[in-house]
Amino acid sequence: MKLEVSRRDLLLAGTGAAAGIALSPVPWKALDDLSIWTQRPPTPTPRPAGPLAFRFTSCTLCPAACGLKARSFGPQPVGFSGVPGHPASDGGLCPLGLTAHHLAKHPLRAVAPERVSGGKRETIDRAAASAALSAAIAAAAKDPKRSLLVVDGRPGRSLSRTFRALAAATNGRYAVPGSPSPALDTLAARFDGPLSLGVDLSKARRVVSFGTPVLTDAGTPGLLPRLRAEGRRKPKGERLEVVHVGATRTKSAGFADRFVPIAPGTEAALALGLAHVLLDEKLADAAFLAARTTGLAGLEALAARFAPPLVEQKTGVPAGDVVALARDLAASRPAVVLGGDPAEPLSAEADAAIAALNLLLGAPSGPLVARRAAPSEPDGDAKLAAVTALDAVPERSVSLLLLDGTVPEGLVPWARLEKLLADGAVVASFSAFRAGLGEKATLLVPGPAPLEEAVELDGPADAPLATFALAPALLAPPKELVLPEELLREAASAAGFELPAPPAGRAAAIVAAKRGQLFDPSTATTTPVSSLADAAALETAFAAGACWVDDPAPAPAGRFALLSDGEAPRLLESALGAPGPEPARVAALPRTALSAAPSSPLLTKLTRETALFPAPSAAKA
């Protein structure tokens, strides 16, 4: 019998086979196995050798300086958690801190010096890096029209002192990123004496944010959301609520209890409109104004011009909403008003209007508290450069730019620095990564990655109490790595500048001050610093992850000026001006603007590739 196969038979067989394969688990199982196989390393990652142990340190990725509890196998940390009761973070930790141990093996990590020449990046040895840096220092010191500029992202360290000494020796400049709370600095400057202010959110019932990402990036990670969640158990009139005012519906705005969209650049007009309602309806804190302020008549005259209908015309916020918000602030005191994103500061006039609004609400007698800086060793005879604002540096006047490895591009954009560079300028970065500002460097001298170096950490400048920790290293740096301070001193010496010796450390100064408490993370207990035997005992405690926290500062006796001299005309002109352009912001992980290190590749995959944090949209007022 002859078997004949027609085209119809082949078509039916092929169709049946395709349908059978599609309905079977074979292709889906193969696709699943392929996806798993492509995400595995070439060889299985073994568990690190060594016994399980827990060690303590502090996170160095941003100014929050959160306490870290590291779960380690031998010397290798494999996971982090917050430290309950820690004076700097109170147990909080952000996504960046959770993955800090990934960064030492980051794909963008650099361990050897690199130089960019002719558009090509090449690896060089220590001698070549030192010679290049020495030549640039010598050239900057000799040129009267061009100078050296140091940008330090974490002032107060031993390396910071070396930077300042080098800037002073070469007639250069030393700059740091802007303040995280310009509105608080503006308010403190109105006091008739030296004053530094911090924010104690636990004392507030209303927090109004003019663009400040209080629920994601600013301050201590997770603190305000936790305080707000705890307040949900209280009667409605006693709960802590957050009001976000801004032109963009950011992640923090989305988490807030209320979002007030305004036209871009009209923050000063809205603040003065709120002041108008408080003064017109006699809702301001009269006792505080009478006892602690001056210049009330001048502010009344200025605020009288910003009736709610005019504020609606300028900002887009309905007049009724302006009145309702002002009455709510008065009825829900203690209240505090915060202004500006650290990555996108407000205008000086907006900061001034927010400062005046805080005084009308009596915030310095509630959530805003006086604070002192942590003790530090005296400068002695060392010649150190003063801090210079970046805005005060003339354009195209810098022949050598030294970028500390802690300078985040989110706070100091490259476009801002590029304007300062002269033709042929050398940009030397001490970043451990070919990312951010480190990618822009013509000479990259990589320093230790996070957790590879003991780092001096002052807490946030706007925290209610000053803190200090000497974060111990948990990882050993690569053997070929050159410490930035060693290479900087070597290059300066070759250029003919002998820098003063490093200071003895902060422990001696803290013990000598005899104030504050020492927090032990292993037991969550505190001990008065006055009970320590000497500085060596404090250094031993710091090496185990301890953190120093200051005692509350006494309330200062003095008055605040509601308006400074000549400020009213400038404030009036700014508030009556046309709205600004819509802000252009990109999606980012929480706190990435405050960190100089790149995100862990794991976080990149889980967030940016899956759009868990979409780009914020501009608010249409």
Does 491 lie in the same domain as 394? yes
Query: Which DSSP category does 456 fall into?
Result: E
Looking only at the bridges linking them, the beta strands covering 547-549 and 517-520 are antiparallel
The answer to whether position 125 is within a domain reads yes
Question: How does residue 620 score in pLDDT terms, banded at 50, 70 and 90?
Answer: very low
Reported as a single tens digit per residue, the pLDDT across 468-491 is 999 999 999 998 888 889 999 999
One domain for residues 574 and 486: no
Structure tokens at 58: 């502090």
220 in a domain, yes or no? yes
Tokens 């803290």 -> residue: 510
CATH code: domain of residue 394: 3.40.50.740
The answer for residues whose C-beta is within 8 angstroms of residue 361's C-beta and 6 or more apart is 278, 284, 285, 329, 330, 333, 334, 335, 336, 337
Same domain, 213 and 304: yes
Do 189 and 148 share a domain, yes or no?
no
Mean pLDDT of the chain: 89
Least confident of 40-49, 181-190, 474-483: 40-49
What's the pLDDT at 46? 64
Number of folded domains that form the chain: 2
Q: What is the pLDDT of residues 394-434, one digit of tens each?
A: 999 999 999 999 999 988 999 999 999 999 999 999 999 99
pLDDT at 183: 87
pLDDT over 70 percentage in the chain: 91
Residues 260 and 340 in one domain: yes
Summarize the confidence of residues 324-332 as an average pLDDT: 96
What is the mean pLDDT of the segment spanning 484-500? Answer: 93
If DSSP codes are grouped into helix, strand and coil, which group holds residue 382?
Answer: coil
For residues 349-368, average pLDDT? 95
For residues 108-117, give the mean pLDDT: 91
Q: 385 and 363 in one domain?
A: no
Which candidate, 508, 539, 542, 503, places its Cα nearest to that of 158? 503
Same domain, 199 and 132: no
340 inside domain: yes
Q: Are residues 272 and 383 in the same domain?
A: no
Q: What is the pLDDT of residue 2?
A: 58
CB 65 within 8 A of CB 59: yes
CA pair distance 190, 197, nearest whole angstrom:
12
According to DSSP, residue 369 is labeled: E
User: Is residue 310 in some structural domain?
Assistant: yes
CA–CA separation, 151 and 311 (whole Å): 40
Report the pLDDT value the prediction gives residue 621, as an integer from 0 to 100: 40
DSSP string for residues in 508-568: HHHHHHT-SEEEETTTTEEEEGGG--SHHHHHHHHHTT-EEEPPPPPPPP--EESS-TTHH
Is residue 136 located within the same domain as residue 252? no
* Any domain includes 595: no
- For residue 610, is it within any domain? no
Q: What is the pLDDT of residues 124-179, one digit of tens each?
A: 999 999 999 999 999 999 988 899 999 999 998 889 999 999 999 999 999 998 88
Residue 256 domain boundaries: 182-372+564-585
- CATH number, domain of 256, equals 3.40.228.10
Residue 418 lies in a domain: yes
pLDDT at 217: 86
268 and 168 inside one domain: no
Arithmetic mean of pLDDT, 227-246: 88
pLDDT of residue 83: 94
pLDDT in tens, 573-618: 999 988 887 776 655 677 888 899 998 888 876 665 655 555 555 5
